[in-house]
Amino acid sequence: MTEVDRVSWRGMAGVVLLFFALGVPQLLFVAPTVPEDEPRHAGYALEVASGRLPLVTEPLPTERLGIPPLKRTNIMAAANHPPLYYALVGPFIRWGSETGHHELGLRLARAATLAMGAVGLIYAFVTIRLLVPNRPAAAVATVACVAAMPAFINVCALVHNDALAVMTASGFGYAVARWLVADDRSRRQLGVLSAWAAAVALTRFSGLLVLAPFIALLGLGTAYKAAGSWPRRLAQGAFPVVVVVAVVAVTSGWFYARNYVLYDDVTGGKALFGVLARKPHGTLWSALWAPAVWSGLHDHIWTRLAGSVHLGASVQAAGRLWTFLGVVGLVRYAIAAPRLVRAIPPRDLRAWTLAASAAAFGVIVLSVFAFYARGGNPTARYWFPMAWVPMLVVSLGWSGLHRRAGMAVGVVLSVVLSGHVLLLYANVLLAGGRVLRDFATVRAAGGGPTEWIAPIALLGVAVALVAVVDAILTLEATTSAGTGRTAA
C-alpha cells in the first residue's frame, strides 16, 4: 500500500465515522411512529421474516409492530418491492414482535440499515479511486459529501430499502470497474459480478435501470479489450452479459412476474396508485420541463426529512448556494476536458465506466420523472444509489475554485450545514412540529435526547471532519506537487 493509499483510507475512515456520528442519533431519537413510510417497510419485513409475501393492499400488522393503525393508508404499501432487504432486517423486527421489545427490534433493523449505507459509501469510494486515480482527494471528498446529505443520513437510519439499494448499486459498479479497468476477468470476478447484479435486482425495481448501462458496458468493454477477430471478440463480450442476465432472471424474474400477474404492472405501482387515488401529473415530457420538480429534487437533499418535516427558505438557500459554487468551479474542468480525454490511453476504459455510471444516474433521474408523471411523489432518495456521480462532479467543481483547498472547504461547509439541519430536525420532532420556515424560528424543545445526543454527535463529527479535511489537503498537495495543476 502506497502513502497515497494510506492517506486515502484514513480519510475514508473519517467519512465512515462522520456518517455514523450523524446517523446513529437519527436511529435513536426518531420515534417509530414519526416516519410515515417506515411502518409500511417494517410491516413488510415482519411478514417476510414470517415466511410469506403479502399483497400491497393487505392491512399492516400494526398490533404485531406495537404501534397504532396508521391514520392514512394503513396498507402494506412497500410490498411491491423485491424482498431481499426485508429478508435481511425482518428477523430483528420479528424478534422484537415476539419478545415484546418492539422498539428495540426496530432500532436494530435501523442499525443494520445504517451499516448497509456505510458499506455503500465504501464501495463508492473504491470505485472512484479506481476510475479517477490521479485525484485521490476527489474520492474522499465525494463520499464525504454524500455521507453528509441530511436526507441520505435520514433514510439510511430508518427501515427503508434505500440503503441496500445504495450498497448493491455501488458494489456492482465496482465489480464492473474491476472487470474492465483492473483487467480482473477471472471466473471468481464473474461470480462476484453476477452476485451483485442479483442483489441489485432483488432490492428495488430501479436497480434494473442501474444494471442496464453497466451490463451494456460489460459486453462492449470486454469485446473491445479481447484479442482475435471481431466475431471472436463479440462472443467473448457476450459471455459475461449472458451469465449476468441469466442470473438476474433466475433470482429476481419470478418476483417481477408475480407483480405483473397480481397488479398488471411489474413495478406494482399501478395497484398503489389506484388505492391512493393518485392522479397523473401529465406526460413524462411535461414533467421534465417542470422547473419546480427539478428544484424540489435538489432541495429535498437538505429540507425534506422523515415525518413530513420540511425545513424552509434558509436551508434551501444554503443548499442551493453550496451546489452553485461547485458548479461555478466546473468551468475549469470544462476548459480542460478535451486535453484530459486525449491523455487517457486508447484501451483505458475508465472514461467508459464513468460514462456508464453517469448514464445509470441519468436513467434513475428519468425514472423519477416518469414516476411523477404517473402520479407519484418525486423525492431525492430515489436517486441515492448513484448519488456519488453528481457529488463527484460538484467536488471537482469545488477544487476548481481553489486547487488545493477547494474540496476541503466544500466538505466542511456541507458537513456544517448538514449537522445544523439534523439538529434542527431533532428539535422540530421533539417540539411536535412538522414545518420549519427559517433557522431563526428554532426553539429548543428542552430536555429529551438532544441533551446527550448533541454533544456526542458533535464530538464524533469534529473528529471525523478533522480526519477527512487532513486527508483531502494532504492528497491535494501530493497530487499538485507530483502532477502539476493539470491533474485530472
Dump pLDDT digits (tens) for 407-442.
999 999 999 888 878 777 776 666 555 444 433 333
61-69: Cβ within 8 A, 24+ apart: 64/97, 65/32, 65/39, 65/93, 65/97, 65/102, 65/106, 66/32, 66/96, 66/97, 66/100, 66/102, 66/103, 67/32, 67/33, 67/39, 67/102, 68/33
Domain extent for 43 = 3-483
User: pTM of this prediction?
Assistant: 0.91
Say how many domains are in the chain: 1
φ/ψ of residue 487, rounded to 5:
-60, 135
Please name which of 444, 414, 227, 228 lies closest in space to residue 318, comparing C-alpha atoms. Answer: 414
Position 70 in a domain: yes
Q: What is the DSSP string of 450-483?
A: HHHHHHHHHHHHHHHHHHHHHHHHHHHHHHHHHH
φ/ψ of residue 436, rounded to 5:
-120, 115
- Residue 270 or 169, more confident: 169
Lowest-pLDDT choice from 190-199, 209-218, 249-258, 402-411: 402-411
Cα separation values, 469 from 11, 124, 324, 368, Å: 8, 19, 21, 34
> Which stretch of DSSP H or E encloses residue 236?
helix 230-263
Cα separation values, 212 from 127, 173, 288, Å: 18, 11, 21
Amino acid at 96: G
Cα separation values, 37 from 44, 71, 270, 301, 435, Å: 11, 12, 18, 17, 18
Percent of the chain with pLDDT over 70: 89
For 133-184, the pLDDT digits (tens) are: 888 999 999 999 999 999 999 899 999 999 999 999 999 999 999 999 999 9
Position 488 in a domain: no
